[in-house]
Amino acid sequence: MPELPEVEVTRRGIAPHVEGRTVTGIVLRRDGLRWPFPPDLPALLTGQVVRSTARRGKYLLLNFDHGTLLIHLGMSGHLRVLPAGLAAQKHDHVDIEFGAELMRFTDPRRFGAVLWHAQTDGDIEQHLLLRSLGVEPLGCADLAERLYRGTRGRSAAIKQALLAGDIVVGVGNIYACESLFESAIHPATAAGRVSRERYARLAAAIQRVLAAAIAKGGSSLRDFIGADGASGYFQQSYFVYDREGEPCRHCSASVRRIVQGQRSTFYCPRCQR
Ligand SMILES: [Zn+2]
């Protein structure tokens, strides 16, 4: 599933191909994915210029003068920039055409979304899907303090508090496991009992882990943007994620797996307390 780093790498990959470019056509090959597509999208966007791209959580935003196109990659979606006229395959649902190139949204499992938010409906940050999102972790100077204050009185496990997304966005299952390992915090610790000092270490770990994933993804950008149809999310080497029974890379203890909120959590019983 695309996590924040993949979405950010996708944004950086498409940005030079779409920013400042005029939409010359929109092709919708079905009525919708997770939700219906705006049926008037071709009329709304054809002839309009993409002024900028942005990302909020896992939503990609294409900003126009008269509103914002929101794209969510869902469970299996990806965007590629391809030469105009390239024949669509079975799971290619939306093309946004820019003259000699097009941006194609492919989504085999169809949990993705393409939505329009008109400027006249208010600030995009107040969109129903965005307004309850937590802070963006990258570049947030007071992330540790927000984590600390946001979890006072919460008995939920720290791993669950991270995944909930209401304090901080983008710390999905993989990155929650990895950043808890790096900050030596046991994933089942009650969030409200983690000290300020430990949240400082956790905040730094979250930022480091996400930045490293984005940097790694940057080197595989061709997979996202290549015209050869290659795609796929980058594989990384992890400290604990998906390593049940394997030796901890720090202390050689056996990595354990537990289930929290129906998601697998991986941790080192010796390094994380
Ligand atoms: Zn260990």
> pLDDT tens digits for 230-266?
444 556 789 999 999 999 999 999 999 999 999 999 9
**Radius of gyration (C-alpha) of the chain in whole angstroms:** 20
- Measured in Å, residue 271 CA sits from the centre of ligand 1 at 4
Q: Give residue-wise pLDDT tens across range 203-229.
A: 999 999 999 988 887 655 555 554 334
In degrees and rounded to multiples of 5, residue 154 shows phi and psi of -95, 125
3-state secondary structure of 79: strand
SS3 content of the chain, % helix, strand, coil (to 5): 30, 25, 45
- Residue corresponding to tokens 């990806």: 78
In degrees and rounded to multiples of 5, residue 43 shows phi and psi of -70, -35
Cα 142 from Cα 85, distance rounded (Å): 47
In degrees and rounded to multiples of 5, residue 176 shows phi and psi of -65, -50
Instruction: Count CB neighbours of 220 within 10 A.
Output: 18
- Measured in Å, residue 72 CA sits from the centre of ligand 1 at 36
Q: Are 14 and 31 in contact (CB under 8 A)?
A: no
Beta strand 52-56 with 59-64 is antiparallel
Low-confidence ranges of the chain (pLDDT < 70): 218-235
DSSP state of 130: T
- Measured in Å, residue 195 CA sits from the centre of ligand 1 at 21
| CA nearest neighbour of 5 among 144, 135, 147, 170 | 170
Cα 141 from Cα 52, distance rounded (Å): 24
Six-digit token string for 243: 């390593």
- Measured in Å, residue 273 CA sits from the centre of ligand 1 at 10
- Measured in Å, residue 81 CA sits from the centre of ligand 1 at 42
The residues near 189 (Cβ < 8 Å, ≥ 6 apart) are 157, 158
Q: Which residues are catalytic?
A: 2-3, 58, 263
- Measured in Å, residue 244 CA sits from the centre of ligand 1 at 12
- Measured in Å, residue 155 CA sits from the centre of ligand 1 at 25
Helices 173-182, 196-218: inter-axial angle, 10-degree rounding: 120
Cα 17 from Cα 4, distance rounded (Å): 21
- Measured in Å, residue 113 CA sits from the centre of ligand 1 at 40
Whole-number pLDDT of residue 234 = 57
Each residue of 142-153: b (16+ CB within 10 Å) or e? ebbebbbebbee
Whole-number pLDDT of residue 31 = 94
Count, residues in the chain:
273
Six-digit token string for 202: 């956790």
